[in-house]
Amino acid sequence: MPDVTWDFTGKVALASGGASGIGRAAATAWLAAGARVAILDQSAERLEETAAALGGERLLTVCGDVTEVADCERAVDETLRRFGRLDVLLNAAGIGGIGRVWELDPLVWDRVLAVNLRGTFLLTRAATRWMVEHREPGRVVNIASTNASVPTTGHSPYCASKAGVVAFTQVAALELAPRRVTVNAIAPGPVDTNLTAPLFAMAGARDAFLRHIPVGRIGRAEDIAQMILFLSSAAAEWVTGQCFYVDGGQSLVALPPYIDLVEQLLGVAPAGAPIC
């Protein structure tokens, strides 16, 4: 990665999904830049491993579910109790689910929308309430996806949830701009994370996706973390309500039909359970 220097000394950031993937990459980058960081994740095991790898006095781990109001409010409360302030929120928790519309289990639809969209709303609500009440400037960064605007088969709940994240980002940006809180989204393309690991583990999947990425490689979580650092910094003070594509050019050429690719690689129809 290019050597870009950021200074977050004195700043406090909270990231959902912070024990893996993009959330953990952002937490790592913030810590390296001097910030104090809280991470919210539903996996106690991943939190323990992350704390062992990154831990120190500037890291707080909170176990909870972003779909639960109480857990989101507790994450903010524990962050404030430990660090005394909250400057940046990253909504990176997310899951996917596979299935064609007429075959999709409604429970899969509900869970994907709950984590990806409801969770983004609930944690933003809890974090920005403190920012507004204390008249503190703040940054909110939401992880959307290129699938918010580039549809692919078998991914209707994921595509719908991420399109919702973009729309929510725009409305929240309008409402919070007078309070000096910016709200932006990032739309990653295919990135090596725990979410995509089951797909990329299938023989031939990585090559199939590479054919649709002009820069010629799958993204890394650190690629997205660099944009997160910019949007959560003072340099982005005049940027709000935007969705930034960080995808190696993938959105310019679209993706292969997702469910058709999976069926081709597996030789069978995939199960519809959420991927997390």
- The pLDDT tens digits for 163-207 are 999 999 999 999 999 999 999 999 999 999 887 877 788 778 888
132: alpha, beta or left, given left = phi > 0 and alpha = psi -120 to 50? alpha
Q: How far is CA 199 from CA 54, 147, 270, in A?
A: 28, 16, 11
Q: How far is CA 17 from CA 21, 130, 220, in A?
A: 8, 21, 16
**What does the longest C-alpha to C-alpha distance in the chain come to?**
56
The enclosing H or E element of 165 equals: helix 156-176
Task: Check pLDDT > 70 for residue 273.
Answer: no
User: What integer pLDDT is reported at residue 253 of this predicted model?
Assistant: 85
Task: Check pLDDT > 50 for residue 74.
Answer: yes
Task: Check pLDDT > 50 for residue 87.
Answer: yes
Q: How far is CA 254 from CA 216, 246, 248, 263, in A?
A: 14, 14, 11, 19
State phi, psi for 216 to the nearest 5 degrees: 85, 15
Distance CA 107, CA 14 (A): 29
Q: What is the residue type of 124?
A: T
Task: Check pLDDT > 90 for residue 63.
Answer: yes
Task: Check pLDDT > 50 for residue 56.
Answer: yes
Partnered with residue 14 across adjacent β-strands are 38, 89
Local structure of 103: helix, strand or coil: coil
Give the catalytic positions in this structure: 158
Query: Is residue 14 within 8 Å of residue 80, measured between CB atoms?
Result: no
Distance CA 228, CA 64 (A): 22
90: alpha, beta or left, given left = phi > 0 and alpha = psi -120 to 50? beta
Distance CA 177, CA 16 (A): 22
**What proportion of the chain, given as a percentage, has pLDDT over 90?**
78
Q: What is the residue type of 81?
A: R
State phi, psi for 83 to the nearest 5 degrees: -115, -15
Task: Check pLDDT > 80 for residue 271.
Answer: no
**pLDDT digits over 199-253, tens only?**
788 778 888 888 889 999 999 999 999 999 999 999 999 999 999 999 999 999 8
Distance CA 43, CA 62 (A): 10
- Domain 12-195+220-254, what architecture? 3-Layer(aba) Sandwich (3.40)
Query: What residue ranges do the domains of the chain occupy?
Result: 12-195+220-254
Say which range, 74-83, 97-106, 107-116, has the weakest mean pLDDT.
Answer: 97-106
Q: What is the mean pLDDT of the chain?
A: 92
Distance CA 88, CA 229 (A): 10
Q: How far is CA 114 from CA 137, 165, 185, 274, in A?
A: 28, 12, 18, 12
**pLDDT digits over 14-31, tens only?**
999 999 999 999 999 999
Local structure of 12: helix, strand or coil: strand
Local structure of 242: helix, strand or coil: coil
